[in-house]
Amino acid sequence: MEVFEVTPIRDRDEQGRLVSSGAYWTEFQATSYALLFGGGVALFPLGLILAVANPFFALFAWAGGVVAIVAAKKGSRLPRSLIFTDEGKMLALNGLPFHPGSSLVEGHHDAIVSVEATGRTYPDNPSNSSWKRDAINVALIAAGGETIYVSRDLSPEQARNVAVQLTLALLDIRQSGAEGRQVPPVPPKDPDDDVIN
């Protein structure tokens, strides 16, 4: 069994100021795993059938089966990351789960009010409703109520870990930005400004 890890990302400039903050993790892709593993397993009986005609074809089919099974194990993990920059950008360098071609999340990260693990438990196999699987997504929730999904189909523990690390990354970049900002002094109030002519 593979260990799920979320790796924090913190990039600093030459002066040591935080310029980006985020996290990197991987998602298990059940569909690609099932296709590769199933195809690999199917090549073994095919190899037996081909062995009757030519042993070379059988070896080729069996080798293909082994390669497909190994590829299922290694290739069914999709990398994900989300990075918050000091300019307010949100970058999903490996795409978003429901928008794979998107690498830039619209809006400024100041609009994000929470990072949440949301989801449900549902029967994975409708013919056997006693076997259930958790499908937890990780989402950014914006001040206007918009939901931006940044990860999907994680276990509850994995989703919670991703949400916590992204929350910490968001807090770090906001705190770093607040420390670097110079707040201009408020000029004294002119008493004549309150007079309505």
pLDDT greater than 70 at residue 63:
yes
Indicate whether 13 belongs to any domain.
Answer: yes
Q: Residue 28 and residue 32: Cα distance in Å, rounded?
A: 9
Question: Is-contact 152 92, C-beta < 8 A?
Answer: no
pTM confidence score: 0.66
62, 84: one domain = no
Cα 191 from Cα 197, distance rounded (Å): 14
Q: How far is CA 181 from the centre of its chain?
A: 30
Residue 197: is its pLDDT beyond 50? no
- Percentage of the chain beyond pLDDT 70 is 59
Considering the domain architecture, whether residues 60 and 109 belong to the same structural domain is answered as no
Whose tokens are 């069996």? That residue is: 62
For range 93-105, the mean pLDDT? 82
Mark which of 74, 90, 106 sits at the end of a domain: 74
Q: Is the pLDDT of residue 74 over 50?
A: yes
Phi, psi of 175, rounded to the nearest 5 degrees: -65, -40
Cα 75 to Cα 1, 33, 79, 125, 156: the distances in Å are: 15, 8, 10, 24, 22
Same domain, 54 and 97: no
* Average pLDDT of the residues in 35-61: 68
Q: What is the pLDDT of residue 9?
A: 94
Q: Does 70 lie in the same domain as 19?
A: no
Are 101 and 115 in the same domain? yes
Q: What is the pLDDT at residue 183?
A: 46
Whether 24 and 64 share a structural domain: no
Domain shared by 89 and 173, yes or no: yes
**Which of residues 14 and 197 earns the better pLDDT score?**
14
Please tell me the total count of domains within the chain.
2
What domain range is 40 assigned to?
33-74
Q: What's the rounded mean pLDDT across residues 63-92?
A: 77
Q: Is 60 exceeded by the pLDDT of residue 146?
A: yes
Pair type for strands 18-28 and 77-85: antiparallel
| CATH number assigned to the domain comprising residue 95 | 2.30.29
Rounded mean pLDDT of 190-196? Answer: 53
Residue 136 has φ and ψ, to the nearest 5°, of: -105, 130
